[in-house]
Structures are given as C-alpha cells and as structure tokens.
Structure 1
C-alpha cells in the first residue's frame, strides 16, 4: 500500500462515522447517508494528492457531501428509483420534542437547503462564514436560511407541545 493510500485510509477510518452522522441529518436515511459519504470520500480520494492543506480536509469533504445532497435533491433521481409507492407519513407521535425520533422526523420535513444550513450551523457547529463558503452563498443567506429553518422546525414541533408546555417557554 502506498503512502497516499495509507494516509487516506487513516483519514477515512478517523472521520467516516462523523461524516455519516452529518449526512444522515441531511437526508434522514442511513442508506442514503452512506451513499453520500461514499460519494464524498471517492471524490476526495481522486484529488488526494492535490489537496495541499490536509488540515482543511473535513471542511472540503463536508462541502462535497452537502453539495451532493443538494444536487441529488434537485435532480430527484432517488424518487424515480423507489420501488412501489411510499406509505403516507404516520402522524407525529405525542411524545415530547426531546424525543430524538420526533426531532429527526421534523428535521426531515425542513426544505433541503434550510436543513443543510441547520445541520452545518448547529450539528457541525460551523461559523456563518464557513457555512456560506460550503454552500457557495452569502453569510446573509445563511442567516436567513437558518432563521427560516428554525421557524419551520418550531412550527413542526409546536403541535406536539401541550398548551401548558407552550406557556412555559
């Protein structure tokens, strides 16, 4: 195994799970998340020798994954490849919003670009400028998409609160 392959294998084993978790939050499906991460690492491997700053690998790989997710959503190819008709979404459970599954279900209902901003800002804890660079947009767009995404999440989660919980906020 060459030094290039060894370095890449070490990076892959160190970062695969974290990138898969980010991809899952973007798409809401572990299989699609794995596909996004595989696409990201494949593209990274192809340019591995040309990547000058190995300290910026996470940012570069994250950018590939997010852009692949957004491109996939625009093309809609995954919709054509589904076998059978998808079942209607079940009604949201009456559990509190702290329940991880409820939050993930609500996050899946947020539009893709807003979801990407929310995941990068609040899951990955990236600053506005870095998210703007990753998504190839202005910092103002990141801020507005973040605000809209949070409003959407609140709207999706608020029916799950009881009236007494709403008054406690």
Structure 2
C-alpha cells in the first residue's frame, strides 16, 4: 500500500532523489522575494520585490543552475537548512512535507499542471515588483508572501 502513495508522502526530505526534491518546488516564487529583518528584534518583514533573477511572469529563476554566481546570498535549500529557515511561505511544499502535511490541490505534483499555482493565487505573478524597479525595499513591505494563498475571485461570465 505504501508504494501507492506519492513520494512526498512516503519519503523523508532527506531520502528524496534530487529530481524528487526539485519537483517539490511549486514555482510560486515567494521565496525569491526580498525579506527584511530588524537587527534589534529579529522581526521579519516580507516585500513584493523580486530577486533580479526571478522572471515575474513564469515565477522561475532565469538562471537557476548558476544563480549563486549572480546572487551570492541566494539560499540553497537542503533538508538540514530547512530547520533553520523561518521565511518560507506557509504553503511551501518543502515546509509542508517537513511538517508532515500534504501538498495543496493546486500544487503541480497534485494537479498535474504547472499553471494551477498561478490560478490559485499562490504565486507572485502579477504582484511582484522587479528588483531593478524598486527604489527602497521598505516601500514595498507586504504581508501576503507569509500568508496562506487566497484564491482570486473569479468573475462569472
């Protein structure tokens, strides 16, 4: 029976193959938004400002394989690092699996379609500000990247 379960329900993050690990990313782009941390209180603030490598339409990195050459502080997620990261969105598959939770119905591994992450309002598409267009990060502080996605209201035709 266990073999019938999808890999994210039967394997730990550490036991996943690289392909399985990479496929957990739903392509929302939320982790690629800049965050601010207060030096005194350690309080975290999310912004709508996208990393310079994030394609804000596809919500994918323009040069994923070489991203650290361009953005040295880009975090490479690993099962070990996940335990120390407090800024992943609550809908992040890495976070959900680490917490023993299932993936949402709009996750591409569940839906079978990469567009469902955008249709569900879970991605940064249409909401992110490209890094080169933002003057001060403080002017773009928002809450939604740290909240569970709210599906967009569909207009009836």
Shared fold (TM-score, shorter chain, > 0.5): no
Larger gyration radius, structure 1 or structure 2 = 1
Structure number with higher relative contact order (C-alpha < 8 Å, ≥ 6 residues apart): 2
Q: Between Structure 1 and Structure 2, which shows a larger proportion of helix residues?
A: 1
Q: Between Structure 1 and Structure 2, which shows a larger proportion of strand residues?
A: 2
Structure 1 length as normaliser, TM-score? 0.26
